Amino acid sequence: MQDYSAFAAKLNDVHDWPCTYIFKCIVPSTEAEAFRSAFPEHTLSDRTSKAGKYISFTLEFTAESSKDVVAVYQTAATIPGAMPL
């Protein structure tokens, strides 16, 4: 499992909690449903690439702390081929 402690520290340096956080991720089209299922409590917007091989997802949510943001990145990391931006 990846260590997100340095990322969490950077988040804490630049954000005042709670705040709105925008998470963007590119996912292979074959994994789009898995990505949607991984975030049932969030509203997602998406856009399919020109060739249809990838879907970009945007997830906007209120984060209470860096832990909320890290949890989203950790969940996205479980989806094969997911590339957070």
Q: Quick: pLDDT tens for 47-85.
A: 999 999 999 999 999 999 999 999 999 999 999 999 999
Q: In the beta sheet, which residues pair with residue 83?
A: 26
pLDDT at 1 over 80: no
Overall residue count recorded for the chain in this entry: 85
User: Which of 81, 62, 80 minimizes the C-alpha distance to 23?
Assistant: 62
Measured CA to CA, the distance from residue 61 to residue 59 in angstroms comes to: 6
Q: In this structure, are residues 69 and 26 in contact, taking their beta carbons and an 8 Å threshold?
A: no
Task: Convert the pLDDT of each residue in 14-56 to its tens digit.
Answer: 999 999 999 999 999 999 999 999 999 999 999 999 999 999 9
Sign of CA dihedral 50, 21, 33, 4: positive
pTM: 0.91
